[in-house]
Amino acid sequence: MLLENLKIDPSELPDIEETAFEKLEPDYLWMRLTGWGLFFVVALGVLIVVNFTSEAPAWLFFGPWGLLLVLVFFVEIRGFGIKGYAIRQKDVSYKSGLIWFSMTSVPLNRIQHCEVSQGPLGRLFELASVRVYTAGGSSSDLSIRGLKKEQAHRLRDYITRLSAEYE
Amino acid sequence: MNKLQLEEPKRQSPVGVAVIFFRNLRIAVNILVTAIFVQFGTAFSILGLSIYQIAIILGIIFLIISYLQYRRFFFFVKDDKFIIEKGLISRDKITIPFDRIQTVNIRQNIIQQLLSVVALKIDTAGSKGKEMEIAALEKSYARELQKFLIEKKELESEDADEATTEKKEKPFEISSEGKEPLVHLGLTELLKVGLTENHLRSGIFLFAVINGYIWQYEEYLLKPFEPFLKEQANNILAQGLILVPLALVLFVVISVVFSLIQTLLRYYDLRFYVNLKGVQLKSGLLRRNEYQIPVNKIQQIKWKSNPLRAWVKLRTLVIKQASSEETSDKQSVSVPGSSPRQLITVLQEFFPERSKKILTTLAPQNLLFIQLAVWLAIIPSFVLGASYFFNAPLYWLTPVYLLLAIFFIYRYYHSVKLVLMPEVLELKKGWFYPSATYVKFYKLQNVKLKQSIFQKRRKLMSITFYTAAGDVTMPHLKAEEAKAIYNYCLYKIESSTQSWM
């Protein structure tokens, strides 16, 4: 690798912004909405019980509930288009976040290992996520969520194979 | 290998029984004292045995357990793995592949010092909470084993990356014998360091610990004073005005004394060595700790200070290495009494290219000032001011607080700087508690751009640099600057073939 000693012009560096990010499976949005839906149903149940036993006016409980529901669903639906991942020759990237946008890239030569994980909701929707581990603490790990199961396995194998070349 | 005789399962040094015994005893005392003693006092008895007889019986049981634990503790080498087998009833087998070893450190607590043995602690990346300590080894043997493990580890990791054309480095070895340490803390320096510790933190820590114990032993500690306290209660209330400042003075004095003791215990006879292979640190009074970090394991080099310490022209040097837990400064090598000149020596040793060429120095945009001012100055001021309506006595402090807070935030805002050099980045932060972190680009393992909706309108972004030893964040850069740095970092990491961990 002779690149190291070359003088480089910052404007000629590969730009992550020009990379086309892959969108996540539309089913993943439904999965997230289902998850939130379950949460709000349970919360509603709790609130109804609390409301029966308390003398405070009902809107004090159900107002914030409705407001939060609208807000969460708005952020989920609007924010879904922002989520995406990109695999370049030498790194893996993931971006997300409507209110707090974040984009992170892990170079393949820094990946420790890589695995597929699937939660109970994921099994229902046949979706899985690929988790990329780096050394040290877990704060620098990266997760690509909302992939079809076969696709997740393919991606895991691909990343594992590429990152193994550096070891 | 022959000398170490590791093909066969091997036991620790025989005095290991004593070391294990005292370790068990400490655990037992912690549990038993709280459970039995506090519940029943010395009048406690079972089956007609007094507490002393029970203590003796338990002691004997512990001795037997310790002996069995010693007998059942083996360590050996099989293929390319270091294996520890232990456990009385359930056998635990801990397997450590050589290439997973991160560091091998030697420690010595007071018991081990008395018995002239040392403990060998093996740290791996990624496995949390696994006990990988050999409690008692002859010192020379431990050193050999340490050397052997590190050599093996280096060989393994080199075999693994045959693809790289990097020349094979010699096995790592930082011998400090017969060399001058870069930093050596004598009594005067130790005193300086102790007096300039963060006393507030020591004080609060001590307060928390003591508070916890007082509640546990409340009955025994406070009961004898109860009649006295009741009698004095009225007087005390009247004297509250005198007692509060007195308590404050007492708090300060105790905090300082506690800092001094802590410093003495931790940093007594501190010797810090630096050479091209890495760094080595020896320190401690009752428990002599010895750390070494090979140069390729160093992830971050950082210095920090506080107003007191800066006043005596000292800084704290921290060298961070890869770790399975989030590295707090305590877990990494920390040299509390380094002069600026010594700091420069260290930086020069590891970043010789530093300061030759500074590409650019970036400051955060003023959104940082605005956000900090809103969260830490204006909102608290509103709360404090609003307390006027609830007859709280301190509302008049509001303007004082507001001005002070704004002043501190302004100075802090101006202290944040990101300095970019071709191979190294430097992040400076803090006015009251100044600090600077140095990271080589190729040591990064992940970069992250963040943009909140407040930043989006102003086209700003924050960038976080992750290393195996924790992360640093530069807030509120112009978006195009942040993106350029992001691309540059990825380029530097991806084009590097040097071993980063």
First to last CA, chain B: 25
CB-side exposure of B134: number of CA atoms within 13 Å? 30
**Residue positions counted in chain B:** 501
Q: Do A140 and B325 touch (CB under 8 A)?
A: no
Query: Into how many domains does chain B fold?
Result: 3
Give the list of residues 6+ apart from residue B421 with CB closer than 8 angstroms, or none: B353, B354, B355, B356, B357, B358, B359
- Interchain contact A9–B (C-beta under 8 A): no
- B491 in a structural domain: no
Residue B100's φ and ψ, nearest 5 degrees, are: -90, -15
Is the domain of B206 the same as that of B344? Answer: yes
Is the domain of B238 the same as that of B280? Answer: yes
CB-side exposure of B251: number of CA atoms within 13 Å? 13
> A119 in helix, strand or coil?
coil
* CB-CB neighbors (< 8 A) of A74 in chain B: none
User: Per the structure block, which two tokens stand in for B456?
Assistant: 């989006």
* CB-CB neighbors (< 8 A) of B125 in chain A: 112, 135-136
State the count of interchain CB pairs (< 8 A) between A and B.
Answer: 117
What gap in Å lies between CA A97 and CA B136, rounded to an integer? 52
The residue in chain A having the minimum alpha-carbon distance to the alpha carbon of residue B124 is: A136
Residue whose entry in the numeric block shows the structure tokens 């969460």: A72
Q: What is the pLDDT of residues A129-141, one digit of tens each?
A: 998 888 866 666 8
- B417 in a structural domain: no
In chain B, which among 117-156 make CB contacts under 8 A with chain A? 125-126
- Interchain contact B108–A (C-beta under 8 A): no
Predicted pLDDT of residue A115:
86
- Interchain contact A64–B (C-beta under 8 A): no
Q: How far is CA B163 from CA A164, B72, B113, B494, B498, in A?
A: 11, 42, 46, 15, 12
| B226-238 helix and B240-267 helix, angle to the nearest 10 degrees | 120
Instruction: Single out the residue in B412, B442, B465 at which a domain terminates.
Output: B412
Q: Do residues B338 and B314 make contact, with C-beta atoms less than 8 angstroms apart?
A: yes
Q: Do B445 and A110 touch (CB under 8 A)?
A: yes
Q: What is the DSSP letter of B14?
A: T
Q: How far is B496 from chain A (nearest CA, A)?
A: 7
The residue in chain A having the minimum alpha-carbon distance to the alpha carbon of residue B161 is: A167
Query: Which CATH number does the domain housing residue B39 bear?
Result: 2.30.29
Q: Do residues B445 and B468 make contact, with C-beta atoms less than 8 angstroms apart?
A: yes
In chain A, which among 21-40 make CB contacts under 8 A with chain B? none
**CA-wise closest residue to B190 among B253, B270, B110, B257:** B270
- Interchain contact A71–B (C-beta under 8 A): no
- Interchain contact B490–A (C-beta under 8 A): yes
Q: Where are the alpha helices (DSSP H) in B169-216?
A: 187-195, 199-216
- B443 in a structural domain: no
Q: Do A110 and B500 touch (CB under 8 A)?
A: yes
Is the domain of B201 the same as that of B344? Answer: yes
**Section B330-351 average pLDDT:** 83
Domain with B99, as residue range(s), is 16-160
**Section B29-34 average pLDDT:** 69
Is the domain of B43 the same as that of B124? Answer: yes
Q: What is the pLDDT of residues A22-62, one digit of tens each?
A: 999 999 999 999 999 999 999 999 999 988 888 888 888 88
Is the domain of B183 the same as that of B153? Answer: no
Instruction: Single out the residue in B104, B130, B160 at which a domain terminates.
Output: B160
Is the domain of B150 the same as that of B294? Answer: no
User: Per the structure block, which two tokens stand in for B20?
Assistant: 């294990």
Beta carbons within 10 angstroms of residue B28's beta carbon = 15
Lowest mean pLDDT among B70-74, B128-132, B153-157, B203-207: B128-132
Lowest mean pLDDT among A7-21, B321-335, B405-419: B321-335
Q: What is the pLDDT of residues B392-432, one digit of tens each?
A: 677 778 889 999 999 999 999 999 999 998 889 999 999 99
Residue B123's φ and ψ, nearest 5 degrees, are: -110, 135
**CA-wise closest residue to A81 among A95, A71, A92:** A95
**CA-wise closest residue to B149 among B106, B189, B101:** B101
Q: Do A102 and B487 touch (CB under 8 A)?
A: no
Lowest mean pLDDT among B163-172, B271-280, B371-380, B444-453: B163-172
* CB-CB neighbors (< 8 A) of A134 in chain B: 445-446, 466, 468
**CA-wise closest residue to B376 among B400, B399, B408:** B408
Q: How far is A49 from chain B (nearest CA, A)?
A: 34
Pairwise pLDDT comparison (B201 vs B479), residue with the higher score: B479
- Interchain contact B371–A (C-beta under 8 A): no
Q: Which domains occur in chain A, in start order?
A: 20-167 (2.30.29.30)
Q: Do A10 and B487 touch (CB under 8 A)?
A: yes
pLDDT for B248 beyond 90: no
Q: Do A10 and B497 touch (CB under 8 A)?
A: no
DSSP E strands, B125-181:
133-138
**Section B475-497 average pLDDT:** 92
Q: How confident is the model at residue B138 (pLDDT cuts 50, 70, 90)?
A: confident
Q: Do B470 and A109 touch (CB under 8 A)?
A: no
- B56 in a structural domain: yes
Is the domain of B150 the same as that of B28? Answer: yes
Is the domain of B251 the same as that of B371? Answer: no
User: Per the structure block, which two tokens stand in for B384?
Assistant: 């404090």
Q: Does the CA dihedral B119-B122-B123-B128 come out positive or negative? A: negative
In chain A, which among 78-117 make CB contacts under 8 A with chain B? 90-91, 97, 99-110, 112
Least CB–CB distance from A110: residue in B125, B493, B497: B493
Predicted pLDDT of residue A72:
95
What gap in Å lies between CA B208 and CA B172, rounded to an integer? 42
* CB-CB neighbors (< 8 A) of B501 in chain A: 135
- B1 in a structural domain: no
What gap in Å lies between CA B299 and CA A85, rounded to an integer? 28
Residue B274's φ and ψ, nearest 5 degrees, are: -130, 130
Is the domain of B227 the same as that of B344? Answer: yes
* CB-CB neighbors (< 8 A) of A139 in chain B: 326, 466, 471
The residue in chain B having the minimum alpha-carbon distance to the alpha carbon of residue A111 is: B445
Predicted pLDDT of residue B373:
95
Q: Do A139 and B450 touch (CB under 8 A)?
A: no
What gap in Å lies between CA B473 and CA B491, rounded to an integer? 19
Is the domain of B188 the same as that of B236? Answer: yes
Least CB–CB distance from A100: residue in B450, B484, B497: B450
Give the list of residues 6+ apart from residue B241 with CB closer than 8 angstroms, or none: none
Give the list of residues 6+ apart from residue B275 with CB closer than 8 angstroms, or none: B174, B179, B349
Predicted pLDDT of residue B195:
87
- B255 in a structural domain: yes
- B303 in a structural domain: yes
Say if residue A166 is exposed, middle or buried (CB neighbours under 10 Å; 0-12, 13-18, 19+).
Answer: middle
Is the domain of B189 the same as that of B291? Answer: yes
Give the list of residues 6+ apart from residue B494 with CB closer than 8 angstroms, or none: A90, A91, A107, A108, A109
**Section B258-278 average pLDDT:** 87
Least CB–CB distance from B495: residue in A4, A100, A101: A4
What gap in Å lies between CA B255 and CA B249, rounded to an integer? 10
Q: Do A140 and B466 touch (CB under 8 A)?
A: yes
Q: Do A135 and B445 touch (CB under 8 A)?
A: yes
* CB-CB neighbors (< 8 A) of B484 in chain A: 10, 13
Optimal mutation site among B299, B420, B472, B494, interface A, most CBs of chain A within 10 A? B494
Q: How confident is the model at residue B285 (pLDDT cuts 50, 70, 90)?
A: confident
pLDDT for A166 beyond 80: no
Q: Do residues A30 and B498 make contact, with C-beta atoms less than 8 angstroms apart?
A: no
Q: How far is A61 from chain B (nearest CA, A)?
A: 26
- Interchain contact A74–B (C-beta under 8 A): no
Q: How confident is the model at residue B215 (pLDDT cuts 50, 70, 90)?
A: low
Q: Do A139 and B160 touch (CB under 8 A)?
A: no
- B500 in a structural domain: no
Q: What is the DSSP letter of B36?
A: I
**Section B8-19 average pLDDT:** 83
Pairwise pLDDT comparison (B365 vs B168), residue with the higher score: B365
Is the domain of B215 the same as that of B263? Answer: yes
Long-range contacts of A31-36 (CB under 8 A, 24+ apart): A31/A121, A31/A122, A31/A124, A31/A125, A31/A127, A31/A146, A32/A76, A32/A80, A33/A73, A33/A76, A33/A77, A34/A121, A34/A124, A34/A125, A35/A121, A36/A72, A36/A73, A36/A76
Say if residue B390 is exposed, middle or buried (CB neighbours under 10 Å; 0-12, 13-18, 19+).
Answer: exposed
In chain B, which among 290-349 make CB contacts under 8 A with chain A? 299, 322-327
Q: How confident is the model at residue B163 (pLDDT cuts 50, 70, 90)?
A: very low
**Residue positions counted in chain A:** 167
pLDDT for B162 beyond 50: no
Q: How confident is the model at residue B234 (pLDDT cuts 50, 70, 90)?
A: low
In three state form, how does the secondary structure of B319-378 look? EEECCCCCCCCCCCEEEEEECHHHHHHHHHHHCCCCCCCCCEEECCCCHHHHHHHHHHHH
Least CB–CB distance from A135: residue in B161, B449, B501: B501
Predicted pLDDT of residue A3:
37
Percent of chain B whose predicted confidence (pLDDT) is above 70: 80
Mean pLDDT, chain B, rounded, equals: 80
What gap in Å lies between CA B259 and CA A74, rounded to an integer? 53
Least CB–CB distance from B487: residue in A13, A104, A135: A13
